[in-house]
Structure 1
Amino acid sequence: MPTARTAVQGQRNEDDELARHLDWADEAREAASIWMAAYQQKIAAYYNRKVRPHAFKEGSLVLRKIFENTAEKGAEKFQANWEGPYVVSKANENGSYHLQTLNGTPLLRPWNVANLKQYHQ
């Protein structure tokens, strides 16, 4: 059974230990944050080294990505992932393109370059 003096001394040691661990936790969190930022920069540099920007000219033939909400019902994973070809009718500066079908009917909205790929005949 602890005496009053040893109980108070034990409480002080626990408080000091807790304060040291809290200081260490802040330092560890900051070190991990710095390491994570450096890691993300390295990954981005590696990725960007291999990425080629896509740019389509007016009149280019492209395929358009099919999204799940526009896919045919029941086709599931055996359905094609791309549809087209479409003709690029206008290229915007922000990376979006206005498309039209081969017979000249324009599509309702512009499409981002991430959802298009070159059509090879």
Structure 2
Amino acid sequence: MSDNYREWPEKIPFALWGHRTLIRTVTGATLYYLVYGMKAVQPVELEVPSLRILLESQVPEADWVQARYDSLVMLDEWRLNTLYHVQLYQKRMERAFNKKVKPRGISEGYLVLKSVRALLPIDPRGKFIPNWAGPYLVKNILSGGAVRLTYLDGNDFTNPTNLDQLKKYYP
């Protein structure tokens, strides 16, 4: 938008306006519409009046106020409709993601290795720290992909572990 890097503060309002008036795929509406309940008037429409601006300018003020009130009353319905749109979008994304997920094939009684993701403060091994710890025994599988593990000596883990942090152990 600019040839000189020093002009960027002058361009921020235009970038923000574009961001607020762009229709989102997730919601199916603009941020401006969700906040104010009406379509934004583009700056170019003020200089070259569009049909929408011309029709609004010829409406008597009392009728315009009544129409604005009616649109604000309908705003909750539009927001609810947007919420449904978001939920459908999330389900589509979940389906697309789940197509690529490979089942781990881990069930109760299996021996597994657990991913080591925590950074230890100081370890003399440096980058040669092992990536996996274990083996552990799968005690039970909870809903949503959580797993309760036990040590081989029978002591239980205090917190459940995510299934995506585990892989089968083959002795």
* TM-score under structure 2 length normalisation: 0.44
1:17 to 45, 48, 67: 67
Structure showing greater relative contact order (alpha-carbon pairs closer than 8 Å, 6 or more residues apart): 1
Contact residue 86 and residue 99 of structure 1 kept, 8 A? no
Q: Does residue 167 of structure 2 align to residue 117 of structure 1?
A: yes
SS at match of 1:48: helix
2:140 to 92, 95, 98: 92
Q: 1:50 to 1:105 in 2, by over 3 A?
A: same
Q: Does residue 156 of structure 2 align to residue 82 of structure 1?
A: no
2:109 to 58, 64, 67: 58
Q: Does residue 85 of structure 2 align to residue 47 of structure 1?
A: no
Question: How many Å apart are 1:41 and its aligned residue?
Answer: 1.4
Contact residue 114 and residue 134 of structure 2 kept, 8 A? yes
Q: Does residue 123 of structure 2 align to residue 72 of structure 1?
A: no
Q: 1:57 to 1:21 in 2, by over 3 A?
A: closer
More strand by share: 1
What's the Cα RMSD here?
Answer: 3.5
Equivalent residue letter for 1:91: K
Q: Percent identity?
A: 16
Contact residue 64 and residue 117 of structure 1 kept, 8 A? yes
Q: Which residue number in structure 2 is paired with residue 6 of structure 1?
A: none
Q: Which residue number in structure 2 is paired with residue 35 of structure 1?
A: 85
Mark the runs of 5 or more structure 1 residues left unpaired by the alignment: 1-8
SS at match of 1:92: strand
Question: How many Å apart are 1:63 and its aligned residue?
Answer: 2.3
